[in-house]
Amino acid sequence: MESPNNKVAGDQSFVAGILALIGRVLLAVSIPLISFYVLYLGFLFLRDSNAPREIIVLIAIIWGVGGVGILYWVFNWLVEKLPDQWKGRLLPFVFVGPAIAILSWYLAIPTLRTFYLSLFGRDGPPEGLSFIQQISSAAFVGFGNYASVFTQDLMVEAFRNNLMWIIFGSTFSVIFGLLIAVLADRSSFEKLAKSLIFLPMAISFVGAGIIWNFIYEYRPEGQTQIGLLNSIVTSLGGTPEAWPQWVAISPWNNLFLIVIVVWLQAGFSMVLFSAALKGIPEELLEAGRIDGANEFQIFFRIMMPYIQGTLISVWTTIIIFTLKIFDVVWVMTGGQFGTHVIATQFYRQSFTNRNSGFGSAIAIVLLIAVIPVMIYNLKRFREQEAF
């Protein structure tokens, strides 16, 4: 900013310096203010406007994506104006700050808040009271909600079903994924097969629910069945059943829902296994074959040990996934007919019954269930990290 001319002329340079300083301060204050104000106006427009949907959508995308870019640019610009020492101290936080703030707001702090809520009754802690008053109020139930989580009939049913989801869902996803990966590796139409198996990954659970309704659809006996499964059953001389809704075989009707998720997820494990299998050195397999091992021995004695790491990570990913399963059950049966799982119970308690204490207790139970995986991740991070 300081030009050589300023140093020569005394008075003039002083005034110019002051003006430059004021200009800088004004700029430093006004640029963020203006950008925040513009962003806020955009927000109001999006919230309240009656403009045609197409325009709202376009502006929303530009505002949302551009807004974040502007924020980073403005913060960086501000920090760049500071002396070098402060710049070095603050710049990392401009870069990492938003991520940490959002992660804290959306995941880290809510675990504590949800735990706190879980200690209270239906309406949560009474508002406007101090912490001490809150926990001595009638709404404070301590671990009462947890007692009901583990004893209430529907919850016990949900735990049992989730256990089925975890066991059958993850096992079948892994087995089918592995089977298809091994077969595709040797087949002549590998690419096509993998694409088609992988395709359901792009389909939403709601869409998958509709697709599978067409497989499971039930018509009373004597009518033409339009569901594939019942059509096969009746053509073989059986009686049609409403498969997922079939109360008589609860809890086994859950399997008909699990099939849907296996169908969606097998592609995921297939891709990972396929990559892992391709990573096995060809010499290793050749050596096995020369030693006279048959294909099954090669699979169990060479391939399986080699891809063990992938096997574990795929398995845990799918276990966590099935633990949180919600959409499929909610769309297909709404949790009726003995198909409730933990996540649907959570939704029902928190948002349908508006019992935030009980719902929060269920969420905390879910969190506790994933803690072993979290510890495993952290341990692995410590081992491999050169941080």
Partner 1 sequence: MSSGKNQKRLGKWLVNLTLLLLVLIWTIPTLGIFISSFRNRDKIATTGWWNVFPHREWRPVSELDPKALGLNPDEVMEIEGVSGTFDQFRKGIETPDGKRVAWIGNKRLGKVEVQENAWTIDWDFSLDNYEQVLGGQDFEFRRPDGSVEVVPGDNMVNAFLNSLAVAIPSTVIPILIAAFAAYAFAWMKFPGRRSMFIMVVALLVVPLQIALVPILRDYRALNLNGTFLAIWLAHTGFGLALATYLLYNYISSLPRDILESAFIDGASHFTVFTTLVLPLSVPALASFAIFQFLWVWNDYLVALIFLGGNPEFELVTQRMAAIVGARGQDWHLLTAGAFVSMILPLTVFFTLQRFFVRGLLAGSVKG
Interface residues for partner 1 in 243-302 (CB under 8 A)?
263, 266, 268, 271-272, 275-276, 295
The CA distance from 300 to 145, in Å, is: 47
Minimum CB separation of residue 123 from partner 1 in Å reads 12
Q: Which stretch binds partner 1 (CB under 8 A): 14-22, 62-70, 137-145, 249-257?
A: 62-70
Q: Which stretch binds partner 1 (CB under 8 A): 13-21, 46-54, 159-167, 242-250?
A: 46-54
CA quadruple 350, 352, 354, 356: dihedral, nearest 10: -10
CA–CA distances in Å: residue 353 to residues 345, 346, 359 = 10, 10, 9
377 binds partner 1 (CB under 8 A): yes
103 binds partner 1 (CB under 8 A): yes
214 binds partner 1 (CB under 8 A): yes
Minimum CB separation of residue 26 from partner 1 in Å reads 23
92 binds partner 1 (CB under 8 A): yes
Q: Please identify, using beta-carbon distances, which residue of 13 and 76 lies nearer to partner 1.
A: 76
Residue 140: enclosing H or E segment and its boundaries?
Answer: none
Enter the tokens of residue 344: 């649907």
Minimum CB separation of residue 357 from partner 1 in Å reads 10
Q: Please identify, using beta-carbon distances, which residue of 18 and 199 lies nearer to partner 1.
A: 199
Count the Cβ atoms, other than its own, within 10 Å of residue 341: 27
Tally of CA atoms within 13 A in the half-sphere of 251 that contains its CB:
15
Choosing from 133, 136, 204, 297, the residue that interacts with partner 1 (CB under 8 A) is 204
Q: Which stretch binds partner 1 (CB under 8 A): 20-28, 67-75, 128-136, 246-254?
A: 67-75
DSSP state of 120: B
Sign of torsion over alpha carbons 125, 128, 130, 133: negative
One-letter amino acid of 234:
T
Choosing from 98, 126, 144, 251, the residue that interacts with partner 1 (CB under 8 A) is 98
* Cis status, amide bond into 251, omega within 30 of 0: yes
210 binds partner 1 (CB under 8 A): yes
350 binds partner 1 (CB under 8 A): yes
51 binds partner 1 (CB under 8 A): no
Enter the tokens of residue 96: 């990492």
Q: Which stretch binds partner 1 (CB under 8 A): 26-34, 135-143, 152-160, 318-326?
A: 318-326
One-letter amino acid of 291:
D
Q: Please identify, using beta-carbon distances, which residue of 72 and 143 lies nearer to partner 1.
A: 72
38 binds partner 1 (CB under 8 A): no
Q: Please identify, using beta-carbon distances, which residue of 225 and 339 lies nearer to partner 1.
A: 225
Minimum CB separation of residue 376 from partner 1 in Å reads 9
One-letter amino acid of 218:
Y
Q: Please identify, using beta-carbon distances, which residue of 106 and 131 lies nearer to partner 1.
A: 106
Whether the Cβ atoms of residue 243 and residue 273 lie closer than 8 Å to each other? no
Count the Cβ atoms, other than its own, within 10 Å of residue 2: 10
One-letter amino acid of 70:
I
Q: Please identify, using beta-carbon distances, which residue of 13 and 171 lies nearer to partner 1.
A: 171
Whether the Cβ atoms of residue 123 and residue 356 lie closer than 8 Å to each other? yes
